[in-house]
């Protein structure tokens, strides 16, 4: 594979894949998800049509991305929000630091947001002396454990209820053997005080709505709503691809996101926020900042075909469907976005040379593309990533040698037939075994090729 990340990926994958405890937890949690999503699907007369519409709208949106982002900026600014464009992590963090210093912020409540994971926001807050509190239960659990989210929708998917009980007992001395309900109540009380005292709330955005200048926030616990409405300052950090043209499109995207993401008809809390508190309003933050993050997205946007990956609405369905993800789990990818969509976009966000191996971590079965609510042809685009990495000569010399010698041999039928089956087995068997990390063996090859046998029959 070549790169450091690629080598580490292979080692970690080989280790985790035989971890039966890990496998059991993932199987259980994805099994629950599959059951819910199958039921959710039944609520649609024609979910396929809904997906096609959503895919079409997202592609159209990307075709008009600059104009729609400007429309969003104009509309939300007219209601008092400040919009900041950040091209990379450094810019977004320095803007946040400026706000934190100007407003004397000492603690922050955060709702679940993969974009904030992308910029390692919690770690940054700690370096500047600000206490960050994750308020989504799953995020709260992984933060407590000192981990990163395992999955883009269900951050603590790799933990059983027994793991969480033990973690809470260790950290908060809660009663051993507490039920999930008891632990949830504990967290609710713990966080309530943080909501009331934190000066800053940080959220992501599931959608940025151009025609009304709003952000749409979707969550199941109400913590997102509390994070944006209790503190006096609200910062939204969103990737530029989150834009949709109209508020009317939420009628299509919200149910698709929930039915594919969690199997729900609609997520429990859906908020539309159009700026800070207005003069005639009693609730809401006094100041609102919206940071629009590029961080590699325009690299992807500039590429033919691959730009479609920016249609992703982060439902997580492709992760749950992926046979690779189910076996190696979320942490092996060692990236913010894991699974098929992570393998597709990360090489463009963080560099193809270092992360090209992710595009090879796919069986190309196409299940990811099949489940995607916005019809991203994920497995085809992974192939496109592979093509780019070969074109740029990022493959290792051994891979190049195997590819060129295979091309030579396989395009020369006389040469193939010239070599006896026993010799072919002698050459190919150890090679294949090595390629599969000693996991698989190919059977003995027949002495004569199909072509030779066919000639004889005729």
For ligand SF4, the closer of residues 30 and 341 by Cβ is: 341
> Which residues, numbered 322-351, are part of the site for ligand SF4 (CB under 6 A)?
341
- Count of chain residues binding ligand SF4 (CB under 6 A): 14
| 149 lies in the binding site for ligand SF4 (CB under 6 A) | no
Contact 300/239 with Cβ under 8 angstroms? no
Residue corresponding to tokens 């190696």: 328
Q: What are phi and psi of 335, to 5 degrees?
A: -140, 165
Q: Is 313 in the site for ligand SF4 (CB under 6 A)?
A: yes
User: What is the total residue count of the chain?
Assistant: 458
Binding of residue 238 to ligand SF4 (CB under 6 A): no
Q: Does 312 bind ligand SF4 (CB under 6 A)?
A: yes
Per-residue x/- mask for ligand SF4, residues 378 to 417, rule CB under 6 A?
Answer: x---------------------------------------
User: Which one among 148, 249, 314, 367 touches ligand SF4, defined by CB under 6 A?
Assistant: 314
The nearer residue to ligand SF4, 341 or 445, going by C-beta atoms, is: 341
Instruction: Give 275 or 330: the residue with its C-beta nearer to ligand SF4.
Output: 330
Q: Which is nearer to ligand SF4, 140 or 325 (CB)?
A: 325
Nearest-approach distance from CB 168 to ligand SF4, in angstroms: 30
Q: Which is nearer to ligand SF4, 26 or 376 (CB)?
A: 376
Asked if residue 345 lies in contact with residue 152, where contact means CB atoms within 8 angstroms, the answer is no
Q: Which residue's CB is nearer to ligand SF4, number 93 or number 309? A: 309
Tell me how far, at minimum, the Cβ of 13 lies from ligand SF4, in Å: 20
Query: Minimum Å distance from CB 370 to ligand SF4?
Result: 9
How big is the CA angle at 191 (ends 250 and 255), to the nearest 5 degrees? 15
CB of 372 to ligand SF4, least distance (A): 3
Q: What is the DSSP string of 297-349?
A: HHHHHTSTTGGGGGG-----HHHHH-HHHHHHTTGGG-SSS-HHHHHHHHHHH
Considering the complex, state which of residue 343 and residue 389 has its C-beta at the smaller distance from ligand SF4: 343
The span from the first CA to the last CA of the chain, in angstroms, equals 45
> Distances from the Cα of 97 to the Cαs of 100, 103, 128, 293, in angstroms?
5, 10, 8, 16
Indicate the residue among 54 and 167 with the shorter CB distance to ligand SF4: 54
DSSP sequence for 192-205: HHHHHH-SEEEE--
Q: At what angle do helices 161-172 and 180-197 cross, to 10 degrees?
A: 50
Instruction: Check binding of 157 to ligand SF4 (CB under 6 A).
Output: no
315: nearest Cα among 278, 368, 391, 393: 368
Minimum CB–partner distance for residue 374 and ligand SF4 (Å):
5
CB of 378 to ligand SF4, least distance (A): 6
Q: Residues 356 to 385: which contact ligand SF4 by CB under 6 A?
A: 371-374, 376, 378
User: Of the two residues 132 and 316, which places its CB atom closer to ligand SF4 in the complex?
Assistant: 316
Is the CB of residue 135 less than 8 Å from the CB of residue 222?
no
Looking up tokens 């990495």 gives: 389
3-class SS of residue 132: strand
What minimum distance in Å lies between the beta carbon of 30 and ligand SF4? 14
Contact 222, 257 (CB under 8 A): no
Contact set with ligand SF4 (CB under 6 A): 312-318, 341, 371-374, 376, 378
């Amino acid at each position: 594979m070549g790169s450091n990340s690629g080598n580490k990926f292979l080692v970690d994958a080989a280790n985790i894949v035989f971890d039966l405890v890990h496998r059991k937890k993932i199987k259980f949690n994805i099994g629950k998800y599959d059951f819910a999503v199958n039921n959710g699907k039944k609520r649609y007369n024609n979910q396929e049509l809904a997906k096609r519409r959503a895919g079409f709208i997202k592609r159209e949106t990307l075709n008009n991305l600059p104009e729609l982002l400007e429309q969003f900026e104009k509309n939300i600014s007219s209601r008092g929000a400040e919009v900041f464009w950040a091209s990379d992590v450094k810019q977004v963090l320095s803007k946040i630091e400026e706000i934190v210093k100007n407003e004397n912020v000492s603690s922050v409540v955060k709702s679940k947001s993969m974009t904030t994971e992308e910029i390692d926001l919690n770690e940054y807050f700690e370096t500047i002396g600000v206490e960050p509190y994750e308020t989504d239960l799953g995020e709260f659990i992984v933060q407590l454990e000192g981990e990163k989210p395992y999955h883009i929708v269900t951050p603590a998917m790799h933990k059983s209820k027994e793991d969480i009980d033990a973690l809470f007992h260790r950290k908060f001395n809660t009663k051993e053997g507490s039920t999930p309900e008891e632990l949830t109540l504990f967290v609710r009380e713990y966080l309530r005080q943080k909501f009331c005292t934190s000066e800053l709330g940080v959220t992501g955005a599931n959608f940025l709505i151009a025609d009304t200048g709003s952000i749409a926030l979707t969550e199941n616990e109400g913590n997102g709503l509390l994070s944006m409405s209790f503190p006096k300052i609200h910062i939204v950090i969103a990737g530029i691809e989150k834009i949709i043209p109209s508020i009317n499109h939420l009628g299509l995207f919200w149910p698709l996101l929930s039915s594919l993401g969690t199997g729900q008809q609609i997520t429990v809390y859906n908020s539309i926020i159009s700026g800070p508190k207005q003069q005639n309003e009693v609730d809401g933050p006094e100041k609102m900042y919206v940071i629009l993050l590029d961080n590699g997205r325009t690299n992807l946007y500039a590429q033919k075909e691959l730009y479609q990956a920016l249609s992703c609405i982060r439902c997580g369905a492709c992760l749950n469907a992926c046979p690779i993800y189910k076996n190696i789990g979320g942490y092996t990818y060692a990236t913010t976005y894991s699974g098929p969509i992570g393998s597709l976009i990360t090489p463009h966000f963080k560099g193809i040379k270092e992360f090209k191996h992710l595009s090879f971590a796919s069986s190309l079965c196409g299940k990811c593309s099949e489940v995607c609510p916005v019809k991203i042809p994920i497995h085809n685009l992974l192939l496109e990533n592979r093509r780019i990495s070969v074109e740029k000569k990022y493959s290792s010399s051994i891979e190049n040698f195997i590819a060129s010698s295979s091309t030579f041999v396989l395009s020369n039928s006389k040469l193939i037939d010239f070599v006896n089956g026993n010799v072919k087995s002698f050459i190919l068997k150890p090679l294949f075994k090595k390629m599969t990390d000693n996991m698989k063996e190919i059977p003995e090859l027949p002495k004569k090729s199909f072509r030779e046998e066919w000639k004889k029959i005729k």
